[in-house]
A and B are shown apart, each in its own frame.
Chain A
Amino acid sequence: MGAGIAIVAARGGFNTISYDRSQEALERSHNATIAFFEKSVERGKMTPGERGRTVKAMRSTTDLDVLGECDLIIEAVFEELSVKRDLLRALDAVCEPRTIFASNTSTLSITEIAAGSKRPHKVVGMHFCLPAQLMKLIEMSPGLLTSEETFQSAWQWTLACGQIPVKTQDKPGFILNALLVPFNNDAIRAVEAGVASAADIDKALKTALGYKMGPLELIDLIGLDTQVRLSEAFYPITLDGRAAAPPLLRRMVAAGLLGRKSGQGFFRYEGEAMFGA
């Protein structure tokens, strides 16, 4: 996710530094980024000159102190409150007071994350959609203590990058996941209740509503284990029964049926081909 966000920033004309503790991870991201730009030029989405300028604007580091020069830092670290708070605490020590901290969290509270920093008025939610380098939408959420100036600066930054921001309150799942996680669980419960096969459920929703992807195909893409984690993040906060992980989902994860990445979830995958399970 971080690599995609870095592409958005650099493509928007901003000098961009990618930080990771692992040099190997940075190299992997760099190679993927170069390959993405190659494709972009091939497809006419970017000129060779733009590619050159964008690549030149990007660098990477394993040294957190290097981030001290940044005006805006967007974190996309592991989705756990303590991890994000620890990072903000470390950044407090190296960054100028003007620096804005943005969190790409999809499930955690911006206000709770900001409590890990000495500058909660400088912390804002910026939830990018996967894959960040292709998706225009960013859900922008102020925490309880976020200043209007911080929010507006971050908002203007997204516009300068050619993204489309929407403002949401700091509530679990913001807009997208608040609607999607329970909906996906409902689709799993429909399979479990014998309403229809996974293939017929997806076919019905795609045909009736014009969705590009059915919910069960989408869960296979996200990963069934990720759907469990999302449910476990939402349910204790919202106590919405629809957000609770369905028993079938847990059984499938226990059986190693994780979706595309394991070769089988609600559907079976052989190479790029998809077969009804």
Chain B
Amino acid sequence: MHYAIIKAGESPSFPDGDPFLAAGVAVSQAEAVIYLAGAKLAHNDAKSVVLVELGNESLGEHTGELLGEEGSNVVGFARYRNGLDAPSSLVELVVQSRTPQDAVAAARSIFEAAGLVVAICTDQAGRIVDRLVRPKYNAALRLLDEGLAIQKDIDLTCRLGLGYPDGPIERAVRGGLVHHHDITKALFETYGTPGYAPARRAVVAARRRES
């Protein structure tokens, strides 16, 4: 499927030089349009799908919402990356309650043709991965503060006991504690549950950035 790319800066999902960008064609020749890095969305019903790259925000901020009746050929997406790490091969595809299935199928085919793995989720804060892993990183950082074990052993335990390629603390630190803080703070503001409250070490990192 031919797609056009409209971008307002460097995309977290497809950084400059990514071959996905080079495959884009002119809008007039494309069956799909992809908006990257905060480029302003223009609706286009003539296209199979209009894709909007998301950061921490909801798709509804771009499309508007209709109390559960929202949905069009506009589909949100984000290629998961752990802060400073390179983007993973996962694309989280964000749909609304009335998003047409053919728009979802078109979006899926674009990313799968690029060798990426697609998981579909609804328009909820943190999508799948950040919603689930950020509380765990917070918990691991709190356990470190409480002296349950040293950092090396907390990470080693997760690697050996669960087969993870890296432990929660080393992963949060490698991706950037400030990045972790910003994501989990946004989730905390949405959900209000204590698990999302940024851990002290992430707060320290964020405050040092500000100062």
Contacts and interface: CB of A to CB of B under 8 A. Distances in A.
B168 A175 contact: no
A209 B121 contact: no
Contacts of B128: 190, 195-196, 200-201, 204-205
A194 interface: yes
Contacts of A240: 194-195
Nearest to B157: A175
Interface in A165-219: 166-169, 171, 174-176, 178-180, 182-183, 186-187, 190, 193-197, 200-201, 203-205, 207-213, 215
Contacts of A207: 80, 88-90, 117, 119
A129 B157 CA distance: 10
Interface stretch (B36-44, B58-66, B134-142): B134-142
Interface of B: 80, 82, 88-90, 92, 117, 119-122, 124, 127-129, 131-133, 135-136, 139-140, 143, 146-150, 153-154, 156-158, 160-166, 168, 171, 193-195
Contacts of B121: 195-196, 200, 204
B82 to A, nearest CB: 8
Scoring A175, A193, A194, A211 by chain B CB atoms within 10 A of each residue's CB, the highest score goes to A175
A242 interface: yes
A101 to B, nearest CB: 22
A196 B161 contact: no
Query: A166, A167, A241: which has the most chain B beta carbons within 10 Å?
Result: A166
A171 B139 contact: no
B153 A166 contact: yes
B93 to A, nearest CB: 9
Given A166-B157, A190-B131, A204-B80, A178 B120 contact: no
Nearest to B160: A137
7 contacts: A166-B153, A168-B157, A175-B143, A183-B132, A201-B119, A210-B165, A242-B135
Interface residues of A, number: 43
Given A167-B153, A200-B128, A208-B80, 10 more contacts: A168-B153, A175-B158, A178-B139, A187-B132, A195-B122, A201-B119, A204-B80, A204-B92, A204-B119, A209-B165
B165 to A, nearest CB: 4
A208 B88 contact: yes
A164 interface: yes
B139 A179 contact: yes
A77 interface: no
B148 A242 contact: no
Contacts of B195: 182, 186, 240-242
Nearest to A139: B157
Contact of B153 (A136, A175, A182, A193): A175
B154 A195 contact: no
Contacts of B149: 166-169, 175
Interface in A138-180: 139, 164, 166-169, 171, 174-176, 178-180
Nearest to B79: A208
Contacts of A208: 80, 82, 88, 90, 129
List 9 tightest A-B contacts by C-beta distance, closest first: A137-B160, A204-B119, A166-B153, A207-B90, A210-B165, A196-B121, A208-B80, A204-B128, A200-B119
